[in-house]
Structure 1
Amino acid sequence: MKGKIKKYVALVLSVQQLLCGCSATELEDRCFPMMAVVDEKDGQIFFGYGFPKLSQKDNTDLEEARVNIAPVTGKTMESCVQTYDSGLEKLADCNHMKVLVFGENLMEDTGRYADVLSYLKQTGLFPRNIYVCVAEDPLALFETEEDLPQDLGSYLEQYLQNQESAGSGKLFKLGRLLDEKENHILQIMLPYLETEDHIIFWKTMYRVPDDRFLYKQEK
């Protein structure tokens, strides 16, 4: 009997050690996306992260941190995330993320858009308190980053907050979007971002009336 108890205790300890080893990732082995973009390109999902100009370890730049890789495409959001993560040399820790940007092409394909929301709801990949907006061209947003005083994700967060205070419209957070989309709330309005001469503007709102169509409404 004592022998069986010892074996059971040893098994439990082994499992605990295994679980701890899998879940614990040291800070230097993580990278910290500040934003994510999801769009549709050539019939596939288009996905990528935006990182800080400096890593959160030893103020190393992105090249040294080896996290600044190009966006990827795939049939599903899940396959894109897996492909992108496999290209990173560090674990993507999204807990500090600020903004999620949906591309206009994705928004016009309501089936794929619904699939992306379903994936985000099921996995909890991104924090529920990040802002959500729509961009005419998400890649054009990245082209403005060289002229910004901070990383694009942090800039967009501050810009959206300032514009909301100025009366440009109401911001939407991911958690609310997921909940209200699931409950079929018809009045979902998202900020619509455009770029001109490497400057970002929020002039209009996208309204999501139901799962069948989405249109841009001028204010």
Structure 2
Amino acid sequence: MYKKRKMVFMLMVLSLLLCGCGDHELENRSFPLAVGLESEKQGCRVVFNFPVLSEVANENADGSYTAVASKKGRDFFTIQKNYEKNSSKSIDFSHNKALILSEEFLKDEEKLQKFLEYAKTQELMARNTYLFVTDLKMEHLFGLDQNLEKPLGTYLEELLESDEDYKDKRIMTLGRLYDERQNQMETLYIPVLGEKDKEPEVTGFYVLRNGKAKERVSSELAMESMLLQGKLKGFSYQDAAGCEWRITKIHPSYEFEKNIEHPIIKIHLACTASLENATLTDWKHEETLEQTLEEELQNRLNTDAKAALEKGIDISNSYKKLGNSYRKGYVHYEERREEYEKNLQIKVETEISVVNLK
């Protein structure tokens, strides 16, 4: 494990040198790969995961090559400046891969807005920095770094980018949060980090509506939302009979019924499905399973969409599409988003073709 970690940091040092950072410059800077931010009674706590670059060339090093710094203060700016003053090193966020917010911090509008204003104005971190939420204590989460073959930030980056189901690997980034808090157009999902086998794992998603924290939902509901929006390349589904299906070639289309008081979005979801854990014996068997799968998935999507709407969550993300299809409705609900979701109906119709028979 330590050899892999050392290789990661050697590559990082090489990239910094190629970018024009000399040895002296590296000594005077700290380069966090992951940053955590959580609420405290009198402000907040920031936890940094730094590579210890000087240890990479030390053959007698213990192999961890990372250090965790946990600091409390009035706000992020104060913590950053105090760290830089006390360590005589400036913090360079140009290689930061993950920003992790505690659930409490995400829901605290005053603290969140203050941090985002500072981060955006100062261009503190890249817009493509991955964004996560956690209900774990930040120091505990960052302590899991010692169990990983790669530093925490790199691990989290690869955790998302290695999932082949997503069309857009950048599920949720700092830049998307900036944009949505300004535009207030979409329902977005932030991956929630938990712990499994002493390693970080995505255990659910946190819903943002109008750029503000709504509530935590299951990974299954978030995947269904991405499915209806055409944001997935593939989708794994187990039906009531225990058959495991791989859903691909996902093509949703949308139609709005132009009714101001009762807006309805009709979603026609066309896709293909291959059976992963059994063999189809003949065309009748195929036809039966195809019809059963269509009905079951359609019922599930409609049921879950209705239940989510009752909580004020539109898993079809329909308001963003409304402007191009029904301008009058879009303008009518522009300042009444809660009313829109209260009145909205989502009707899903599935069309599934079974393929890849064994």
Do both proteins adopt the same fold according to a TM-score greater than 0.5, normalized to the shorter chain?
yes
Q: Is 2:46 the counterpart of 1:44?
A: no
Task: Please give the alpha-carbon distance, in whole angstroms, between the structure 1 residues aligned to 2:79 and 2:186.
Answer: 29
What is the match of residue 96 of structure 1?
95
Aligned to 1:19: none
Greater displacement, 175-184 / 30-39? 175-184
| Cα separation, 1, equivalents of 2:192 and 2:28 | 35
What is the number of equivalent residue pairs in this alignment? 190
Task: Tell me how large the CA RMSD over aligned residues is.
Answer: 2.7
Residues of 2 paired with 1:179 and 1:211: CA distance? 8
**What is the aligned partner in structure 1 of residue 151 from structure 2?**
151
> 2:148–2:199: 8 Å Cα contact kept in structure 1?
no
Give the letter aligned to residue 188 of structure 1. Answer: L
Counterparts of 2:68 and 2:158 in 1: how far apart (Å)? Answer: 25
Residue 126 of structure 1: aligned partner? 125
Counting only pairs closer than 5 Å after superposition, residues 31-70 of structure 1 correspond to structure 2 as 31-52=30-51, 54-55=52-53, 59-60=57-58, 68=67, 70=69
Q: 1:137-169 CA distances to partner (integer Å, 9 max, x unpaired)?
A: 232222211111111111111112224x245x9
Secondary structure of the equivalent of 2:67? coil
2:82 equivalent in structure 1: 83
Bigger relative contact order, structure 1 or 2 (CA pairs below 8 A, ≥6 apart): 1
Q: Kindly state the Cα deviation for residue 57 of structure 1 after the two structures are TM-superposed.
A: 7.8
Please tell me whether Structure 1 or Structure 2 has the larger radius of gyration of its CA atoms: 2
1:27 paired to 2:26:
yes
Please give the secondary structure, in 1, of the residue aligned with 2:195.
Answer: strand
Say which SS state the counterpart of residue 115 (structure 2) adopts.
helix
Mapping for residues 193-204 of structure 1, pairs under 5 Å: 193-204=193-204
Contact 2:39 2:45 in 1 (8 A): yes
Structure 1: which amino acid aligns with 2:27? Answer: E
2-structure distance, mates of 1:55, 1:186: 41
Which residue is equivalent to 2:209? Answer: 209
Q: TM-score scaled by structure 2?
A: 0.48
User: Which secondary structure state, in structure 2, belongs to the residue aligned with residue 208 of structure 1?
Assistant: strand
* SS of the residue 1:146 aligns to: helix
So what's the TM-score if we normalise by structure 1? 0.75
Partner of 1:173: 173
CA distance in 2, matches of 1:205, 1:128: 20
- Separation (CA, whole Å) in 2 of partners of 1:170 and 1:130: 9
Distance 2:145 2:118 in 1: 29
C-alpha distance 212-155 of structure 1, shift in aligned 2 (>3 A): closer
Separation (CA, whole Å) in 2 of partners of 1:35 and 1:203: 19
Cα deviation for residue 30 of structure 1 reads: 2.0
Give CA-to-partner distance per residue, 1:26-66, whole Å, 9 cap, x none: 233222111111110224211121112x417863569xx9x
Task: Give 1:98 deviation, angstroms.
Answer: 0.8
8 Å CA contact retained: 1:71, 1:84 = no
The DSSP-based 3-state class of the residue aligned with 2:105 is helix
CA positional deviation for 1:214: 2.6
1:70 partner SS: strand
**Structure 1 residue 125 displacement after superposition:** 1.0
- CA offsets 1:180-207 (integer angstroms, 9 cap, x no match): 2122234121111111341222121101
1:129 Cα deviation (Å)?
A: 1.6
| C-alpha contact (below 8 Å) 1:51/1:68 kept by paired residues | yes
Runs of 4 or more consecutive aligned structure 1 residues displaced over 4 Å after TM superposition: none
Distance 2:134 2:165 in 1: 20
Q: What aligned pairs does 1:1-20 form with structure 2 within 5 A after superposition?
A: none
In structure 1, how many angstroms separate the alpha carbons of the residues matched to 2:196 and 2:118? 32
Deviation at 1:87, TM superposition (A): 3.1
Tell me the CA shift for residue 72 of structure 1.
1.3
Shift of 1:123: 1.1
Identity %: 24
- For 1:143 and 1:203, the matched residues in 2 are separated by 18
Partner of 2:190: 190
